[in-house]
Chains A and B, each alone.
Chain A
Amino acid sequence: MSILSGNGTIDKQFLKDRISYLLREKCYITISPDVMYLMEKSYEEETSDSAKEMLRTMIENVRMAENQKKPVCQSPGFPTAYIRWGKGTDITGLKDILKEEIVNDTKDGFLRPSMVHPLTRKNTGDNSGVGVPNMELEYEPTLDFMEVLISFKGCGAELGNAIKIFTPAQIGENAKGIKEFVIDTVIKAGGKPCPPIALGVGIGGQMDVAAKLSRRAVSVRKWTDHSPDPEIARMEEEILGMINQLGIGPGGVGGKATALAVKIESAYTHIAICPVAVNFHCWVARRGGMRIYPTGRIEYLFEGKDKK
């Protein structure tokens, strides 16, 4: 059986149904399983009473949301879709489907109408709008599937984000300057980005590249994984260890669990600069992803706890 027509276009109704399922079952009413695993682990390891109570409430809230089919959080944040596809498939119509489903799901109470004109602040009332959802497209000719990954990232967390263009001298020995910038940014944000957070750090390219990498790092990767680059993996662990000694704690109430993960993505940059973008993700990791194969087989991302 094939869900493709002759020119590689996926059957529109099939795609619409699968995306609707992905959104309604995996994106709004729960958090991704890898993050739930880390939340439960944090609860076990937390020692302060108020921090433990905060984590207990958060975990309980996810269970209630799943049972009652309600969105975990009242704020949908801002949606970004990461799409990868290969030579055999065609993404015609995908953007329209995503836009339509988001509007439908808003009408059905899964998403609060939260998209406004950036200056007039006029709300469209249904989460439609120019640039919504943001689409990040990646064509890789050899892929034998189409990957659709949608991430709704809270915007209270956005308020803590920071970007700095380092000079080579400012990077310092063992990237001390960069680490210090990251830690300062976390302290400044305190409880505002809904800790326990995950931190996406984009390093390299120019400003735009670093910013996109920072969002991608924390949206696309499992929060339980490790960077394949051993140098980067070490830095992720080191920064995570530092953050969790700061004592900001869940909800900013004080405690051990300030961050669940630090994810760094990098690109080569110019001899004169090193852009670094720091991107906060709240604990409410509403995201889902799937790989659609030409046979119609679907493989969901983020399932299982530690496996990549």
Chain B
Amino acid sequence: MKEMSLTTPITEEQVLSLDVNDTVYITGIVYTARDMAHLKLRQLLLCKENLPEDFRGGVIFHAGPVVKKVDGGWEIWVIGPTTSIRMEPYAEMVGQLGVKVIVGKGGMGEDTLQSLAKYGGVYLLAAPGCGVTHAEAVKKVLRVHWLAELSVPEAIWVLEVNKWGPLIVGMDAHGRSIFKCIALKASNVKERFFKVR
């Protein structure tokens, strides 16, 4: 288990060097995106429309913040991960966009694991329910997309973060997932509880 600091844009080489259970700290630009942002990105791609950002080498954070308006700009008041599995239907799209790092909570499924291996990416686990802690790492709101249409939690917030972490590699680019292993072990334990004695 190693510790690594990543600065965006993140390269394929960096991603390939990561293994499950490694600890990561991120500095640079992070895009928040949850259900509606993913849906809208897909619709734009289908219609061959321009996307609001170039996601290559980027970090997507499954999150919707609480924001405050300060001096005509925005401050991230609290922010933390949302349940990532809801974004599983977009696994292939996110890989195609060139996203190298997904940050969320709870883990993702088989489609994401395949996409991470195919396009070179990792899934990082952020401590759930820790909105104040994660907000400490956000230095600035650079811009926001689709705020009026999607509202605060669902908009894409483009954030500048500094040494954000610790984030734990839950799924790596080599086909490994801590969530899969933990579920398998849990099922074996369960079998022991309920086997006919």
Q: Which residue of B lies closest to A258 (CB)?
A: B186
Count of chain A to chain B residue pairs whose CB atoms are closer than 8 Å in the complex: 162
Encoded as 1 (CB less than 8 Å from any A CB) or 0, chain B from 68 to 111 comes to: 10000000011110110110000000000000000001110000
Bound complex: CA A159 to CA B107 (Å): 13
Bound complex: CA A150 to CA B147 (Å): 30
Taking CB atoms and an 8 Å cut-off, the chain A residues in 56-93 that contact chain B are: 57-58, 60-61, 64-65, 68, 70-75
Q: Does A245 contact B (CB under 8 A)?
A: yes
Query: How many whole Å from B23's CB to the nearest CB in chain A?
Result: 8
Q: Which residue of A lies closest to B181 (CB)?
A: A254
CB contacts (< 8 Å) of B44 on chain A: these are: none
Q: Tell me if B194 and A180 are in contact (CB < 8 A).
A: yes
Encoded as 1 (CB less than 8 Å from any B CB) or 0, chain A from 34 to 69 comes to: 000000000000000010011001101100110010
Q: Tell me if B182 and A73 are in contact (CB < 8 A).
A: no
From B80, B125, B150, B182, A74 is in contact (CB under 8 Å) with: B80
| Given A156-B82, A176-B194, A249 contacting B182 (CB threshold 8 A) | yes
| Given A112-B153, A252-B107, A252-B179, A183 contacting B77 (CB threshold 8 A) | no
Q: Tell me if A156 and B182 are in contact (CB < 8 A).
A: no
Q: Does B63 contact A (CB under 8 A)?
A: yes
Q: Tell me if B85 and A192 are in contact (CB < 8 A).
A: yes
Q: Tell me if A109 and B183 are in contact (CB < 8 A).
A: no
Q: Tell me if A73 and B80 are in contact (CB < 8 A).
A: yes
Q: Does B133 contact A (CB under 8 A)?
A: yes
What is the number of residues of chain B that contact chain A, defined by CB distance less than 8 Å? 48
Query: How many whole Å from B130's CB to the nearest CB in chain A?
Result: 4
Taking CB atoms and an 8 Å cut-off, the chain A residues in 191-225 that contact chain B are: 191-194
| Given A112-B153, A123-B151, A191 contacting B105 (CB threshold 8 A) | yes
Bound complex: CA A192 to CA B66 (Å): 21
Q: Does A125 contact B (CB under 8 A)?
A: yes
Query: How many whole Å from B161's CB to the nearest CB in chain A?
Result: 15
Q: Tell me if A112 and B127 are in contact (CB < 8 A).
A: no
CB contacts (< 8 Å) of B150 on chain A: these are: 123
Q: Tell me if A283 and B66 are in contact (CB < 8 A).
A: no
Q: Tell me if B36 and A121 are in contact (CB < 8 A).
A: yes
Q: Does B65 contact A (CB under 8 A)?
A: yes
Q: Tell me if A248 and B186 are in contact (CB < 8 A).
A: yes
Q: Does B128 contact A (CB under 8 A)?
A: yes
Q: Tell me if B82 and A58 are in contact (CB < 8 A).
A: no
From A50, A156, A190, A252, B21 is in contact (CB under 8 Å) with: A50
Which residue among B107, B127, B135, B178 has the maximum number of chain A CB atoms within 10 Å of its CB? B127
Q: Does B187 contact A (CB under 8 A)?
A: yes
CB contacts (< 8 Å) of A72 on chain B: these are: 129, 131-132
Query: How many whole Å from B1's CB to the nearest CB in chain A?
Result: 8
Q: Tell me if B107 and A112 are in contact (CB < 8 A).
A: no
Bound complex: CA A179 to CA B194 (Å): 9
From A58, A179, A183, A247, B129 is in contact (CB under 8 Å) with: A58
Q: Tell me if A251 and B125 are in contact (CB < 8 A).
A: yes
| Given A191-B105, A192-B106, A253-B178, A154 contacting B129 (CB threshold 8 A) | yes
Bound complex: CA A138 to CA B146 (Å): 43
CB contacts (< 8 Å) of A156 on chain B: these are: 82-83, 105-106, 128
Q: Tell me if B105 and A194 are in contact (CB < 8 A).
A: yes
Query: How many whole Å from A172's CB to the nearest CB in chain B?
Result: 10
Interface residues of B (CB under 8 A from A): 21, 36, 63-68, 77-80, 82-83, 85-86, 105-107, 125, 127-133, 135-136, 150-154, 166, 168, 170, 178-179, 182-183, 185-187, 189-190, 193-194
Interface pairs A-B: 8 shortest CB-CB:
A192-B106, A156-B83, A123-B151, A61-B130, A284-B129, A246-B186, A194-B128, A74-B131
